[in-house]
Structure 1
Amino acid sequence: MEKERKKVVYEKSSPNTTIQKTLVTARLFEGFWDRWIAHGIKKSVTNLVNHEVKKVYDWVRFFNQFADHHFQQATRYEKHHQTQLAEEHFQLAGLYFNLIYWIFPDRFDEKVTWYKKSLEAFSKADENSRIKRILKTLKIDGKDCVGRVRVPSHPKGSIVIINPMDSSKEELYTYENHFVDLGFATFSFDGPGQGETFTINGLKANRNRWNQFMNKVITLAYETLPQIPVYLFGTSSGASWSIEASQHPYVRKAVAVSPPISNQNSVALPNYFQERMSYILEQDPQMLPETNDLSNCKPVLLVHGNQDVMVKDSDIYELYNRLPSGKKLIEYHHETHCCNGKLTEIREQSVRWFND
């Protein structure tokens, strides 16, 4: 008989306490920045945090100077019709604004204000992009889940990008850029509890809402471009949903990078992160999908970093053994959760695997 699993309970502290714990973690643990560096924040910038940032006001002031710098550069490039450089710098400005928005765990005025500045910068980037961006919405429990759709000429397939619970679609803009450059249409949405869907529209996450969300975004991808296959690419909690949603009849293949397993009892989540989750989850903290029956999954490419302290090697091997035929496992010995140092390579390998 399977032993009883302990439920993860996310206890809510005061927002100021959560922010302070986040700041301390950012200053003490270099690995905290791996995610943001992978998405475009300069390591030379994060190296200055210890000296420059003590309180939330410092965080806002410090990162805002880089956001403003890139926004001003982008504006100059735009005036001189250097659209590619304008797009790149508007996106970087949006990423730095996004980092400011992210520090606030709940829907404070500050969080909303900085998120809107991030949206503005990305909107300006889209105006300068050679690939048109289309905004779409999906209704879940009467509220909008907002997403970005980009379609290059003669796309080889549609990739639904499933973001980690604590990330917005804007933070992972490099995934969009890369997949579009590789010839794929992209569908990147903020699900329940994420980005615009949570911050602006107030929709929190639970397992049922995420089931609805995944069904709707996959259906949208298929109906938008019915002549090409639909693929899934998810990281962290998004990877767990990539595996679950690979059972959808419209999906051809799925990639899952560092998927936490819903029934494991030893997920080593940092304390500040657990507190952040308490603000975006609706009552039941179990927002990951059930993974009891995977027999109907389409071919899944699993990617795992052997230094991951959240998802153990044994968890990944057990998961891999339960997946049906067509599966593949890639391991990176020196990588941690989400394999941030190898994401460019992983996206390229994913596309080759999609094309096989």
Structure 2
Amino acid sequence: MALVKSTIDKTLLTANLFDGFWDRWIVHGVEREDIDTLRSSYLTKDRWMDGWRKRADQKFLEAEKLEQDNSFAEAEMKFRAAGLYYQLMQWLIPERKTEKIGWLNVSLSAFEKADKLSPIKAKYVQLPIGEQNCFGRVRIPSQTKGVVIIINPLDSTKEELFTYELDFISKGYIVVSFDGPGQGQTFTFEGLRGTTRRWESFIDVLIDFTSNTFPNLPINLFGTSSGAAWALYGSCNPKVNKTVAVSPAFVGGGIKLPDYFVERSRFVLEEEKSLPSYELLPFRNPVMLFHGKQDVMVSDSNIYHLYEQLPQGKCLVEYEEEGHCCNYKLAEIRQKAVEWFESDKEV
């Protein structure tokens, strides 16, 4: 209980003091005005939960009104926005107790309502990892060019990254997105925590599932941060076509991670760091790397050394003003990724 309170307090302290804490949520769809309003007074747990609940409830009601008016496309996006705001509530709670489970279910319900309104239907899938299951979603547009497997960073759920999903399906790609060990439904419902071995198994099973389900389509991987690290692991699989890795995390990179993140990780990981060692990976397929030059978690030297290890067909794109995950270039990065998936050349 003491660790839970400490983790929440450190998370709230960071949210109060550092603007950069919010970058991830802004680029994933949280409105700056809502953040500024909540931060106008010091954020306590109660203020966080009440503030995001009221805003999520309001968006949910607006979505229902749009649905009643037959404005289905607008209603879909508003339900997804409500779901994202409910995500902020479950996200704050690090342990898989009733409060976290409850708000995750509320968020999932909002996303399910959005899915039902979309002309591109969602299939909900579970993949066994040992004796437990990983939860995922698959969306299949009518005209398909290939598949993109989105590998989410440790601290995110598959639902949080819904804009990635929408971008890829709008370009004609089937999207496969799962909560891996330590993430989302997989952690909260199953209690499955992350280890390096479990993540290796998860990526292997995920690629096999995708290849078996869509045997005649090229499979591409897209990941950010720790998700990019595991996308690089997946790039070694002969069933994979191309891989995009944005700000891949490194084992023991000599970087001090934020205290709140380190404490949050203890709840979802059984090992201190569950990441692949790039030096040991048998790289074989083309990789496109993205790196923000202001990244305080991934050094230039680490990226350049990794790039030297990559096989033919590789590409490196750097952004001078971006930090970790290149947050404010992510929409552009997804566009570049699509162009690269469809080309035999570097972008």
The TM tier, using the shorter chain, reads: over 0.9
Alignment partners' CA distance in 1, 2:281 and 2:133: 30
- How far the C-alpha of 1:295 sits from its partner, in A, is 4.0
Q: For 2:82, give the aligned amino acid.
A: A
How far apart, CA to CA, are the structure 1 residues paired with 2:201 and 2:282? 21
Give distance in 2, aligned partners of 1:325 and 1:260: 22
Aligned partner letter, 2:170: D
Q: Are residues 1:230 and 2:219 paired?
A: yes
Give the distance between the partners of 2:81 and 2:133, measured in 1 at CA: 26
Distance 1:128 1:306 in 2: 40
Describe how 1:1-356 pairs up with structure 2 within 5 A.
14-262=3-251, 264-282=252-270, 284-356=271-343
Q: Is the 2:253–2:298 Cα contact (8 Å) retained in structure 1? A: no
- The structure whose RCO (Cα within 8 Å, separation 6+) is larger is 1
Q: Deviations over 1:42-87 (max 9, x none)?
A: 0111122322443111100001111011100111111122110110
Residues 96-140 of structure 1: CA distance to partner in whole angstroms, max 9, x if unpaired?
000111001111211111100000000100010010100011011
Alpha-carbon separation, structure 1, partners of 2:136 and 2:49: 26
Instruction: Give every structure 1 segment of 4 or more consecutive aligned residues whose post-TM-superposition deviation is greater than 6 Å.
Output: none
Q: 1:351 to 1:274 in 2, by over 3 A?
A: same
For 1:8, the equivalent position in structure 2 comes to none
Equivalent residues of 1:158, 1:228 under 8 A apart: yes
Percent identity between matched residues is 46
Residue type of the alignment partner of 1:57: D
The CA deviation at 1:297 is 2.9
Structure 1 residue 265 displacement after superposition: 3.8
CA separation of 1:302/1:13 partners in 2, compared to 1, >3 Å: closer, same or farther? farther
Say which SS state the counterpart of residue 158 (structure 1) adopts. Answer: strand
The CA RMSD over aligned residues, in Å, is 1.2
Is the contact made by 1:307 and 1:337 (CA closer than 8 Å) also made in structure 2? Answer: yes
Q: Answer with 50-59 or 162-171: which moved more.
A: 50-59
1:295 and 1:324 in contact (8 A); partners too: no
Matched-pair contact (CA < 8 Å) for 1:243–1:297: no
Q: Give the whole-Å Cα distance in 2 for the aligned partners of 1:324 and 1:176.
A: 28
Offset of 1:290 from its aligned partner?
1.8
* 1:229-286 deviations in Å (ceiling 9; x for gaps): 0000000000001111101111001000000122x3412310010000000012x223
Count, aligned residues: 343
In structure 2, the partner of 1:4 is none
